[in-house]
Structure 1
Amino acid sequence: MRITKIGTHVVGTPWRNLTYVTVHTDEGLTGVGEARMLGHTGALLGYLAEAERRHVTGSDPFDIEDLVHRMKYGDFGRAGEIVMSGIACVEMACWDIVGKALGQPVWRLLGGRVRDRVKAYANGWYTVDRTPEEFHAAARRVVERGYRALKLDPFGAGRMELDHDETIRSISLVEAVRDAIGPGCELLVEMHGRFSPATAIRLARLLEPYDPAWLEEPVPPENLKALAKVSAHTGLPIATGERIHDRIEFRELLELQAADVVQPDVGHLGGIAETRKLAATAETYYVQLAPHNVGGPVLTAASLQLGVCVPNFKILEHFNDFADAEIGTIAKGAPKVVDGHFAVPTAPGLGVELDLDAIAEFPRRDADFDLFAEDWHKRDGTARRAAASGGPGGSGERR
């Protein structure tokens, strides 16, 4: 079996574009992959066009290790977010092809199941006004859907510091959410790498009464010793890793014992096998894996395969019940959350099939996501509501 070509299909949403890759073979099997890029969709498409000619076409989709190695090192330049995301799209599509050829879900090819279902946490649910009342009501709706864990970023547009008024406001939002969900649900707090170690430590102390299951990216990801400082000064678990794009770069993080949970994005780390290797390394440090997952159905399906077979897998992020409900038609077999968990997938490969006609209904958009804009939660929600009511879109791109 040989790869004959790849296709790219961009799905536009109000706050980011999702890039889907179809990998075609000379035996009629087609695999799918996905990556979510913020502001770099064109760069990803450009890389894939070159990689198709240089590395992908003519390759055996069963030889995944060889293809990944050639794509990562064959161009000599150090692979960053764009290259590793392109590799991930092609790599997970190859796993999809292999699973289909063998009639097995991917998790069976990675060692088999270690659990009967995979716990999910909700994200994308708080596109409301930043008031305790609005956050309380929104959190209640999440619990009513059966989720037993949810994440929020309560903070405004602070950088390094957070002024007194914003600190009080942010903590009040966490208090409201904890009151809404009760003590039996996991509450995960996102910081998006905004703060200095001193500010992060101060905020951690203020958050302790609300028992967050982790603090995510309390400081920018470039300086891991700064993260270690935060970890050393709080008893709350630390999670990070979505902006680390090579599993080898996690070595220092693990050696510093600066995090309790690593959060690689399968769509940015080079795919399923690279993330599986990272999970095995993390396990030797007694660190759990909770993939960053803000993509669509294919990326969720790929991450779910790991959730079934990785012993130190903690929980899987899920946006698609909240932020992206409008694109639910683009794929058949998309994983669903029931009673706060994903079921173990049984279909061959990734178990998801794209509907290209449905994808055409969501053309590429000029989506600008600015985490540091004032009231970014509300602005983002407003953009989504406008889109849902037929607001302006962008241009599509398919190949």
Structure 2
Amino acid sequence: MRITRVDTHVVGTPWRNLTYVVVHTDEGLTGLGETRMLGHTDALLGYLKEAQANHILGSDPFATEDLVRRMKYGDYGRAGEIVMSGIACVEMACWDIKGKALGVPVWQLLGGQVTDKVKAYANGWYTTERTPEAYAEAARGVMAHGYQALKIDPFGAGQFELSHRETLDAVALIEAVRDAIGPDAELMLEMHGRFNPSTAVRLAREMAPFRPAWLEEPVPPENLKALAKVAEKVEMPVATGERIHDRIEFRELFESQAADIIQPDLGHIGGIAETRKLAATAETHYMLIAPHNVGGSVLTAASLQVGFSTPNFKVLEHFNDFADAEIKAVVKNAPQVVDGYFEISDAPGLGVEFDADAAAEFPQQQAHFDLFADGWEKREPEARR
């Protein structure tokens, strides 16, 4: 079996573009891959066009290790977010083809089932007015949808520091959300790499009474010594990793023991096998894995293949019940959250199908998302803010 063609489809929203890749073979089987880009969609499409000619066409979709190696190192330049995202789309599509060819789900090919369900947590749900009352109402809607966990960044457009007034506002939002969801639900606290270490520590202590399940990306991701400084001074688990795009670059994070939970994005770190390898290394450092997942249903399905076959898999992020819920129509048999969990599927490959006609209803946009701009949480075009 050989790869004969790679098609790309972009599904657009005002704040994110989702790139879907369909890999065709000479035996008629096709596979799906997906990633989400912020501001780099055209660059990704350009890379995939060149990689198709240089590396992908004629490759054996079963030989994913060789294909990833050639795409990552065969152009000599160091692979960054765009290259690793392109690799991820093609790699997960090849796993989809393998599963379909063998008649088994991808999780079976990764070592088999270790659990029959993966816990989900909701994100993208607080696209509302930034008041305690509005956030509490939105949080109750998440619980009514069946979730038992959610994540929130309550810090507005904060960067490096947060004023006393802004701190009080953030605390009021978290207090309202905790009261709305009750004591048993998990509440993940997101900082988006906003703060310097002292501010992150101070805010973590302010939030401690509301029992966050983790403190995510408290400082910018480039300086792991700063992250270690925070980890030493807070009691809640620290999570990070969504902006690390190479498995090798996690080495320093493991050595520092500065995180308890790693959050690679399958769509940016090279795909399914790269993430599974990373999870295995994390297990040797007693760390859990909770992949970053801001994509659509194909990326969710791919992440779940890892989840069902990985002993130290904690929970999976999910946006599409709240932010841009209508885009779920572009994928048939999309994974659904039931009573707070994704349940295992025996469908071959990734278990989903792409609907190109439905995707055409959501053309590529000049998507823009600035986490340091007022009103970012509403995920609207800037002109409407």
Query: TM-score, with normalisation over the residues of structure 2?
Result: 0.98
Structure 1 pair 382–333 and aligned structure 2 pair: CA distance change class (3 A): farther
- 2:60 pairs with 1:38: no
Aligned to 2:278: 278
Contact preservation (8 Å) 1:130, 1:378: no
Distance 2:8 2:363 in 1: 12
AA aligned to 1:69 is R
Aligned to 1:394: none
- 2:16 pairs with 1:16: yes
Within-5 A mapping of 1:198-213: 198-213=198-213
Aligned to 2:302: 302
Aligned to 2:166: 166
1:345 Cα deviation after fit = 1.6
User: Comparing 155-164 with 271-280, which one deviates more in the overlay?
Assistant: 155-164
AA aligned to 1:64 is T
Q: Secondary structure at the match of 1:293?
A: coil
1:263 Cα deviation after fit = 0.1
1:79 Cα deviation after fit = 0.4
AA aligned to 1:7 is D
Contact preservation (8 Å) 1:217, 1:240: yes
Contact preservation (8 Å) 1:305, 1:345: no
Within-5 A mapping of 1:1-399: 1-378=1-378, 380=380
AA aligned to 1:16 is R
Aligned to 1:397: none
Q: Secondary structure at the match of 2:347?
A: coil
Distance 2:382 2:131 in 1: 15
Aligned to 1:392: none
RMSD over equivalenced CA pairs, Å: 1.3
Structure 1 pair 379–21 and aligned structure 2 pair: CA distance change class (3 A): closer
Distance 2:384 2:66 in 1: 41
Structure 1 pair 136–254 and aligned structure 2 pair: CA distance change class (3 A): same
Aligned-residue identity in percent? 73
1:109 Cα deviation after fit = 0.2
Q: Secondary structure at the match of 2:127?
A: coil
1:14 Cα deviation after fit = 2.0
Structure 1 pair 124–379 and aligned structure 2 pair: CA distance change class (3 A): closer
Aligned to 1:396: none
Distance 1:247 1:379 in 2: 30
Q: Secondary structure at the match of 1:207?
A: helix
Q: Secondary structure at the match of 1:209?
A: helix
Q: Which runs of 4+ in 1 moved over 6 A?
A: 381-385
AA aligned to 1:215 is L
Contact preservation (8 Å) 1:118, 1:343: yes
1:380 Cα deviation after fit = 3.2
Structure 1 pair 346–381 and aligned structure 2 pair: CA distance change class (3 A): farther
Deviations 1:346-391 (A, max 9, x none): 1100011100111111100111111111122246399899xxxxxx
Gaps of 5+ in 2: none
Distance 2:10 2:195 in 1: 33
Contact preservation (8 Å) 2:263, 2:291: yes
Q: Secondary structure at the match of 1:377?
A: helix
Q: Secondary structure at the match of 1:328?
A: helix
Distance 1:367 1:271 in 2: 23
Contact preservation (8 Å) 2:369, 2:379: no
Contact preservation (8 Å) 2:120, 2:147: yes
Deviations 1:7-35 (A, max 9, x none): 00000012110000010000000000001
Query: TM-score, with normalisation over the residues of structure 1?
Result: 0.95
AA aligned to 1:241 is G
Distance 1:16 1:79 in 2: 22
Distance 1:384 1:183 in 2: 36
Gaps of 5+ in 1: 386-399
Q: Secondary structure at the match of 1:193?
A: coil
Distance 1:376 1:15 in 2: 9
Contact preservation (8 Å) 2:15, 2:381: no
Count of residues paired in the alignment: 385
